[in-house]
Every structure is written in C-alpha cells, then in structure tokens.
Structure 1
Amino acid sequence: MKLENANILITGGTMGIGYATAKLLIGNGANVAITGRDEKRTHKAARDLGAMPITADVANPEDVKRTFHLFMEEYGRLDVLINNAGIGFSKAIDQLTLDDFEHIYRVNVFGAAMMAAKAAKIFKKQNYGNIINIGSTAALKGYEGGSIYASSKAALRSMTQSWQAELRRYNVRVMLVNPSEVTTAFGQPDRQERDDQPNKLRSEEIAWAIKSALQMDNRGFVPELTVWATNPF
C-alpha cells in the first residue's frame, strides 16, 4: 500500500513502539491518530508528532466506540489499525489471581479484539483494509513468570490467524509482528522508557518492520513477522 495520505489509527501511541511507528509513518506522508489513557501525555505526544490525539482506554468498550467515531469524523476512511496497546508483568504461578488475568487480558486480548471488530466492520464495507497486531516472542515460547503475559500474546496470535481466515476475502490484510525484548517503558512501574542498549532492540526497529509490511503491494501480505536482536549476549 501507499503510505502517503493513508489514514492510520495506532493504539498506545504516546511512547515506545506506538510513538516510533507514528513518527515513521507520518514522516512518510500518512495521517495518523494515536490513542492513550493519559490525556496530558496523549496530547503532548500528538503535538510532537503532528498526529491526532484520542484519549481512550482500549479496555473500555465505550472508549473503543468513541475512538472510531472521532477517527471517522476526522478522516472519513480508515486504512490501517495498529493494535499496539499492551500491558504486562511477571508473576509466579503460585501467586496468580483471577484479577491479574483479567487486568492484562482486558487490554491485550479483549481490547485488541474490540478494536479489530470495529475496524473489520469498516473494512468489510470498504472491501479493503489492514490490521497489524503487535504480539511478542513470548507468544512463541513462554518464560518463567510469564503465565499471564505470554498467554495473552498467544491468544492475540491465535485471534490474528482467525481474522486472517475471515477477512482475506474482503481484501483485508491481518498481520502479526512479534518483537523480542525492546527498550521501552513496558513493564516499568514508573512508565519511563529505558535507555538504549547496543544489544537490545529499539522501538525504531519494530516501527521499520511495521512500515515495511504495510508497503508491500496490496496483492500480498506477511502473515507473521518476528524481530530479534542480532546479538543479545
């Protein structure tokens, strides 16, 4: 697809992968709206990027509805949904609670699904569209303490495959990008991004992968793309 004048919605776009992706896509001529839960942070990020701000929590169904209403009111057409919003933490199996699962799943699984459901209605009418889900290598191989987060990303991976089967006939490309460890604020209690490390991925590498996947001609798509650090040791 051509990025110039494409209308793109990115959840969790105030920092990290979402922010870097918005910056790269806007730099290539796209119109981008970003969502974030913190109004002040969302508006500041949007000003810095030249994006449209939408203060919203993907875990809130009413916020999901309002997000699409505002986006379509502004742009009239949706070309790409990037399901980037995600949260997580590590916890030993014997310490897990139902509330822990519900907290993570409401964002990583239910929120992503509800955003995709709204986008799919638009895309089916248009007979065209793109969904990119930001997964994780944790979906491919669990890790100690990863019961909740890894399983939430495995659920997202399974949903991605289901949406591919459902939406290809409508010329909708559904893609999954699995980053390995990225030096973002993910999992940080203070929500401050970590400093770059030469042996770790940055948000920019994932943004580049997203941009590259989108720019393939619309006749083809990459169902799943995993990005590793070259030498993490």
Structure 2
Amino acid sequence: MKKTIFITGASSGIGKETAKYFVKKGWNVAASMRSPEKEEALKSIPGIKLYRLDVTSKEDLQNIASVVLKDFPKIDVLFNNAGYGAVGAFEKASNEEIRAQFEVNVFGVMNLIKEFIPVFREQKHGIIINTSSVVGRFTVPLYSLYCSSKWALEGFSEALQYELKQFNIKVKLVEPAAIKTDFHGRSLKVVKNEKVQGYDEMEDRILSGMRRRNDKASGPEVVAKTVFKAATDNSNKLRYSTGKGAGIVLKARKFLPTRLFNKLVFKQQNRKS
C-alpha cells in the first residue's frame, strides 16, 4: 500500500518541491495551502491532491485529517512546513506582528499536530516532521521574532517526542540553512515603524547581505530530500540539518564557547560585502 504524506505550505518553495519529490518516490501527497484554486503545477500531477488550509484558521484546522482520510486510506507523515519570517528591529514590531509570527510558526504547528495525534494513535504509527531552521539553535540580528519562533518549535518538538514515543509516533525537525526560495520575497515580512529611528543603516546592510547569501544558497530540493530521509530512515533521530553550511555552523554552535560563536555571528552579519 502506498504511503501518504500531508504537507502544509505546499504552494511554493520547500513545500512544493517536497510534494513533487515524494510523489516521484511513489507516495500519495496531500498538499495543503491557503489558496489551492490558484495552484496550477501540482494539481496536474497524478498522486497529488490539493486541500485548503490556513494554519491560523480554526475552521480550516478542524477535521482536516478526516477530510484527507476520505481520499487516502491512511496518513503516514505530517510535514509542518507553512511559515514565514518577520524581520527587522524588534522595537519596530507591533504587538499584532509579534503575535502573527507565533500564530503561524508555532501555534499553527501545535494546533495541526493536535488534530493529527488521534489519527496516528489509532493507526498505531505516524511521523511528524516540523520545519525549523539553523537559527532555531542560534540567533542573528534583526531576526528576533523569527528566531524565537523557531527556538520555541525546537523546544516543543524535543519535548513532544518523549510523550509520543509510547504510541509509535516519531517527531522530527528539519533545520535548513539559507535556501533559495521566496523566503526573502513574499514569505518575508519586514516590520516597519517610522516613529522608531536609528536602525536603517543596520537593516540595509544585514538584509542586503541575507539576500546575497540567499541567492547563492542551495535550492529547495535539498530540503525535500532531507524530509524524505527523515520520513523513511526508520530511526528515532530528532534533528536533520540541510543546506549549504548548515552542518558546519551547527557544529560550531555546539563546540565553540558561546561568547566566541556570538562574536563570529555578529561579525559575519555585519560584513559590508
């Protein structure tokens, strides 16, 4: 029997590439997004079915698993990929922008997992894969909201794995470095507040550097392959780093003294070219 993966945020980037990769590997793919009626590429691929899902909508979340199970006999993997980055000086961020970052990147993931745990318990198996980031384990300037949301996701996932192990449900984290997607396009929310001054030069320098690094980064297919590995390696491994430089920077974070590591990060992020 074919296995099935449910993917959030499948309209672009990592989510779309993962949907294509899994169907090539012989899986059924339930690909969800906020506006499936606008999706052209995926809907024409046999083995992929599209579903409407805004992870911040209680109405969309309720019974989404049962809707998918009308089309497929079971769901083997839940891939929580939907997310975006709120970037800029924290002082500029409104309370609404702060809450929105966590509603999508943290609470949306938590709420969807709550819908799927009973399904996986009844099946007596399941794998939950959450998209984190290398900055879920260290921080960079101007990414305080995004980093903190990914740190929260890391802690939640690490604790959840212990709780669900007894039900044969595995929890895994994929931690990409910079990936060439639209993260610095439509998935990037730059917080602005004209009343708060003093950050412009820093924002211009750091964000332009981030965009340059993003242009030279690995494509989303490397993450898709990592997600497939996490879904199929039959291990209890929690974290899977992926993308150019991800393994190196996370090893540096682990072995270097925090003060030295933070100094190197700040120096790198403030380079002018």
**TM > 0.5:** yes
2: distance between equivalents of 1:98 and 1:136?
24
Residue of structure 2 aligned with 1:205, choices 218, 222, 225 = 222
Q: Any stretches of 5+ residues in structure 1 without a counterpart?
A: none
In structure 1, what is the equivalent of residue 89 of structure 2? 92
1:168 is displaced (CA, Å) by 0.6
2: distance between equivalents of 1:189 and 1:198?
15
Residue of structure 1 aligned with 2:240, choices 216, 225, 228 = 225
1:60 aligns with 2:66: no
In structure 1, what is the equivalent of residue 43 of structure 2? 47
4+ runs of 1 displaced by more than 4 Å?
Answer: 194-198, 230-233
1: distance between equivalents of 2:36 and 2:216?
34
Q: 1:172-187 counterparts in 2 under 5 A? A: 172-187=169-184
Contact 2:6 2:31 in 1 (8 A): yes
Q: Any idea what SS the aligned residue of 2:139 has?
A: coil
1:131 aligns with 2:128: yes
1:103 to 1:70, Cα distance in 2 relative to 1, 3 A: same
Q: Deviations over 1:118-165 (max 9, x none)?
A: 111111111100000000111111111111111111111111112101
Amino acid of the structure 2 residue aligned with 1:214: A
Q: Any idea what SS the aligned residue of 2:56 has?
A: coil
2: distance between equivalents of 1:169 and 1:196?
42
Provide the TM-score with structure 1 as the length reference. Answer: 0.89
Contact 2:86 2:146 in 1 (8 A): yes
Residue of structure 2 aligned with 1:75, choices 44, 64, 72 = 72
Q: Any idea what SS the aligned residue of 1:120 has?
A: helix
Provide the TM-score with structure 2 as the length reference. Answer: 0.76
Residue of structure 1 aligned with 2:109, choices 100, 112, 119 = 112
Contact 1:183 1:195 in 2 (8 A): no
2: distance between equivalents of 1:21 and 1:182?
13
In structure 2, what is the equivalent of residue 9 of structure 1? 6
1: distance between equivalents of 2:99 and 2:12?
24
Identity of aligned residues (%): 28
Amino acid of the structure 1 residue aligned with 2:227: I
Greater gyration radius = 2
